[in-house]
Amino acid sequence: MPDAKFSVSFAGPLVTLQDAGRPGNMRYGVAASGPMDRLAFDAAHAALGNSVAGTAIEVSLGGVILNCTSGAVTLAVTGGDFVVEHGGQKRGSWTVLTVSEGDRLTIRAGRAGSWAYLAFAGDLLAQSWLGSHATHAPAGFGGGAVLSGRSIEVKNAALREDRLGDIPQPEFTPDGPIRVVTGPQDRYFAEGAVDRFLSAPYAVTDAFDRMGMRLDGPELDLKAALSIPSEPIARGSVQVSGDGVPTVLLSDHQTTGGYPKIATVISCDTDRLAQLRAKDKLRFAAVSSEQAVATCRTYLENKQAYLDHIAIARGTLEQRLMRENLISGWSEEDMSAAT
Amino acid sequence: MPEHAPKFDAIADHAVLVGFADTISEEAHAQVVALDQALADNPPKGFVEAVPALVNLLVSFDVMATDHAAVIAHLKSLLDALEVNSVSGRAREVLVCYDAELGPDLDAIASATGLSVDAVINAHLSGDYRVLMYGFAPGYAYLSGVADEIQVPRKTKPVRDVPAGSVIIAGPQCLVTTLTMPTGWSIIGQSPTRILTGDPDAPFLFDVGDQVTFRRIDRAAFERMKDETVHA
């Protein structure tokens, strides 16, 4: 199959190549990295019919402008509510389109969301580190940042006309407070700090990157000026620095650290948390570890059903009409007789 | 079974933190290393990875395959059979060049401690180092064992753009950097030994618990080996 090539005419800061991540290396100081919004990343690949969620471009609020310099490829844009401009048309993220030589594709911040994903029906060429293309942004290891003036190459670029159009957006994702399991060092906090954390509104600040999100809200006092031995950190840990300010650690988090952690965001709530923007308000709510497990299992089942649903090729208009007619004209007996 | 009953904390939906102590001790770390090893030999169903640190160990799991209670039960069975003293890390050697240009803080440590620069270097070489944990950035391995007489506090202000391969110390800890980054630790030399080895089968030089010795090389050897490493 032919290749498609793009030149990057503009890329904002924190636009990086990401695959599903490199778990298993935290013991060596290496967080798994991977997408900030894993649902949107997976959806981009599913909507293209990619059997493996390979490497995609994670687009920050800074946006990206690509010029297709040769070939053609079908691509998907998902995540948040970004603006996608192509061929004189402006549309939102959650869309599949085909870009050909001479075309310009612009993805820029829209009404909501901090991260969009651009996946291709093909293999995005990228540097590998420890078996993964995911960019560890602070170190620059892995696929790396997408930078203005550089080029991007997609091998085995496919045209998938039967997948063009809007991608149904997920409807199973929760809203409401961001759920956490308290601990493991909540015992180090002053009386009332945990209650305050769970009841007060917080706001996202500008100090928000792939490592974490610093919040603005009531200070969370420690019992004393404690020196806590450096402990392992998980994605979603809410650590509180000496000034009482909480920071939620995300994809490129440090793997160990000495700040006490008041709670950890459950894994199925980190995607929507990461899509918030500076000044957005949020609240936290505590769940038990058993509730966390049950909630995340249900979420992952719903997520898989959603991905399976959007992975079904919609077909060309003609095919879609024919399918509608066939299905509406069939009885259940016909279905079982046919299979 | 360890002397003090370990503490188990549920972390979100996907991990358990096993704590052996609230303060740093060799005993607690030996327990962390022993449990880490036992887990590697006998992982529970749904095991994703373990992260050893100073006094505790994070055990991550796949929430679709298991839950906290099952992982804790498995950890308890491993702890019951744990032989802490039987674990001993591998011996690793790190080359270091203490040339004044590569170790710009040697003079300051000498004046702070009342030692000569040579005595500072010898004290560093005499240390009995052990890999405590990784953290901060990929390949940043924290080593314990800096000799008492050269233990100096962090600088009040970090120095920018300290090159990868710098050998730095603060208090009882020593570290060989892998990235060009700012640091408030004292820079005493540079090493051509890569902690990020570039070998896909063994990408990191140390495992937590390994014993480390430093061997002195001169500037000419450093320059030669630095080039060799780069071209390897």
Q: A187-237: per-residue pLDDT in tens?
A: 889 889 999 999 999 999 999 999 999 999 999 998 876 667 899 999 999
Question: Can you tell me the distance from the alpha carbon of A141 to that of B138, in angstroms, rounded to the nearest whole number?
Answer: 9
CB-CB under 8 Å, B23 with A295: no
Residue B210 is encoded by which pair of tokens?
A: 């390994």
Taking the whole predicted model, whether its pTM rises above 0.95 is answered as no
Q: A residues 183-222 near B, CB within 8 Å?
A: 183-184
Residues contacting residue A148 through CB under 8 Å, at least 6 positions apart? A8, A9, A10, A11
Question: Of A243, A259, A287, which residue constitutes the final position of a domain?
Answer: A287
In this structure, are A129 and A242 located in the same domain? no
In this structure, are A132 and A198 located in the same domain? no
Give the gap in angstroms from C-alpha B171 to the nearest C-alpha of chain A: 14
B70 touching chain A per CB within 8 A: no
Place of tokens 């798994």: A32
In this structure, are A76 and A43 located in the same domain? yes
Give the gap in angstroms from C-alpha B14 to the nearest C-alpha of chain A: 8
Residue A183 lies in a domain: yes
Q: B residues 116-135 near A, CB within 8 Å?
A: 133-135
In this structure, are A18 and A161 located in the same domain? yes
Residues in B touching A266 (Cβ below 8 Å)? 12-13
Residue A226 lies in a domain: yes
Residue A332 lies in a domain: no
Report the 3 state secondary structure along chain B.
Answer: CCCCCCEEEEECCCEEEEECCCCCCHHHHHHHHHHHHHHHHCCCCCEEEEEECCCEEEEEECCCCCCHHHHHHHHHHHHHCCCHHHCCCCEEEEEEECCCCCCCCHHHHHHHHCCCHHHHHHHHHHCCEEEEEECCCCCCEEEECCCHHHCCCCCCCCEEEECCCEEEEECCEEEECCCCEEECCEEEEECCCCCECCCCCCCECCCCCCEEEEEECCHHHHHHHHHHHHHC
Give the type of residue at B98. Answer: Y
Residue A41 lies in a domain: yes
Cβ contact B46:B13 at 8 Å: no
Residue A182 is encoded by which pair of tokens?
A: 């308290």
Interface mutation vs chain B, best among A22, A25, A27, most B CBs within 10 Å: A27
CB-CB under 8 Å, B9 with A183: yes
Residues in A touching B136 (Cβ below 8 Å)? 29, 254, 256
Residue A303 lies in a domain: no
Taken as a whole, chain A contains a residue count of 339
Instruction: Label residue A323 by pLDDT band (50, 70, 90).
Output: low
Shortest CB distance from A130 goes to which of B12, B58, B203?
A: B203
Question: Can you tell me the distance from the alpha carbon of B1 to that of B83, in angstroms, rounded to the nearest whole number?
Answer: 8
Question: Of A269, A287, A305, which residue constitutes the final position of a domain?
Answer: A287
Residue A241 lies in a domain: yes
- Tell me the pLDDT of chain B averaged across its residues: 93
Which CATH fold topology does B7-86 show?
A: Gyrase A; domain 2 (3.30.1360)
pLDDT value of position B2: 46
Q: How many domains does chain A have?
A: 2
pLDDT at A330 over 60: no
Nearest to B211 by CA among B146, B96, B128: B128
Cβ contact A65:A106 at 8 Å: yes
In this structure, are A44 and A135 located in the same domain? yes
Residues in A touching B10 (Cβ below 8 Å)? 181, 183, 289, 292
Report the 3 state secondary structure along chain A.
Answer: CCCEEEEEEEECCCCEEECCCCCCCHHHCCCCCCCCCHHHHHHHHHHHCCCCCCCEEEECCCCEEEEEEECEEEEEEECCEEEEEECCEEEECCEEEEEECCCEEEEEEEEECCCEEEEECCEECCCCECCECCCECCCCECCCECCCCCEEEEECCCCCHHHCEECCCCCCCCCCCEEEEECCCHHHECCCHHHHHHHCCEEEEEEECCCEEEEECCCCCECCCCCCCCEECCCCEEEECCCCCEEEECCCCCCEECCCEEEEECHHHHHHHHCCCCCCEECEEECCHHHHHHHHHHHHHHHHHHHHHHCCCCCCHHHHHHHHHHHHHCCHHHHHHHC
Residue A184, preceding peptide bond in cis (omega within 30° of 0): yes
Instruction: Label residue B87 by pLDDT band (50, 70, 90).
Output: low
Residue A144 is encoded by which pair of tokens?
A: 């790396």
Instruction: Label residue B230 by pLDDT band (50, 70, 90).
Output: very low
The whole-number average pLDDT for the span A115-122 is 98
- Give CA B73 to chain center in angstroms: 29
CATH number at residue A241: 2.40.100.10
A224 touching chain B per CB within 8 A: no
In this structure, are A151 and A84 located in the same domain? yes
In this structure, are A83 and A58 located in the same domain? yes
In this structure, are A83 and A151 located in the same domain? yes
pLDDT value of position A285: 98
The whole-number average pLDDT for the span A132-161 is 96
CB-CB under 8 Å, B10 with A292: yes
In this structure, are A137 and A252 located in the same domain? no
How many inter-chain contacts (A to B, CB under 8 Å) are there? 135
Give the gap in angstroms from C-alpha B54 to the nearest C-alpha of chain A: 6
Give the gap in angstroms from C-alpha A99 to the nearest C-alpha of chain B: 36
Question: Of A113, A134, A166, which residue constitutes the final position of a domain?
Answer: A166
Question: Can you tell me the distance from the alpha carbon of A338 to that of A150, in angstroms, rounded to the nearest whole number?
Answer: 53
Question: Can you tell me the distance from the alpha carbon of B183 to that of B185, in angstroms, rounded to the nearest whole number?
Answer: 5
State whether CATH 2.40.100.10 applies to domain B91-231: yes
Shortest CB distance from A184 goes to which of B17, B49, B200?
A: B17
A81 touching chain B per CB within 8 A: no
CB-CB under 8 Å, B60 with A26: yes
Cβ contact A16:A58 at 8 Å: yes
CB-CB under 8 Å, A296 with B63: yes
Pairs from A196-200 (Cβ < 8 Å, separation ≥ 24): A196/A220, A197/A238, A197/A246, A197/A262, A197/A263, A197/A284, A198/A284, A198/A285, A198/A286, A199/A283, A200/A283
Query: What are the CA-CA distances from residue B228 to residues B93, B196, B231 (Å)?
Result: 17, 15, 5
In this structure, are A83 and A203 located in the same domain? no
Interface mutation vs chain B, best among A28, A188, A265, A290, most B CBs within 10 Å: A28
Residues spanned by the domain of A95: 4-166
CB-CB under 8 Å, B11 with A234: yes
CB-CB under 8 Å, B56 with A300: no
Shortest CB distance from A254 goes to which of B57, B64, B136?
A: B136
Residue A320 lies in a domain: no
Could you report the per-residue pLDDT of A95-108, keeping only the tens digit for each?
A: 999 999 999 999 99
Give the gap in angstroms from C-alpha B156 to the nearest C-alpha of chain A: 16
Instruction: Label residue B226 by pLDDT band (50, 70, 90).
Output: confident
CB-CB under 8 Å, B23 with A184: no
pLDDT at B157 over 60: yes
Residue A238 lies in a domain: yes
Instruction: Label residue B89 by pLDDT band (50, 70, 90).
Output: confident
In this structure, are A122 and A220 located in the same domain? no
Taken as a whole, chain B contains a residue count of 232
CB-CB under 8 Å, B204 with A292: no
CB-CB under 8 Å, B51 with A255: yes
CB-CB under 8 Å, B13 with A289: yes
CB-CB under 8 Å, B57 with A232: yes
Please give the torsion angle defined by the CA atoms of residues B173, B177, B181 and B183, in that order, rounded to the nearest 10 degrees: 20
B189 touching chain A per CB within 8 A: no
Question: Can you tell me the distance from the alpha carbon of B146 to that of B128, in angstroms, rounded to the nearest whole number?
Answer: 7
In this structure, are A93 and A190 located in the same domain? no
Shortest CB distance from A229 goes to which of B23, B49, B57?
A: B23
Domain spans of chain B, in order of start: 7-86, 91-231
Shortest CB distance from B138 goes to which of A141, A234, A256?
A: A141
CB-CB under 8 Å, B23 with A296: no
The fraction of chain A above a pLDDT of 90, given in percent, is 83
pLDDT value of position B1: 44
CA angle A213, A218, A219 (to 5 degrees): 80
Instruction: Label residue B85 by pLDDT band (50, 70, 90).
Output: confident
Q: What is the ipTM of this complex?
A: 0.93
Nearest to B143 by CA among B112, B167, B108: B167
pLDDT at B216 over 70: yes
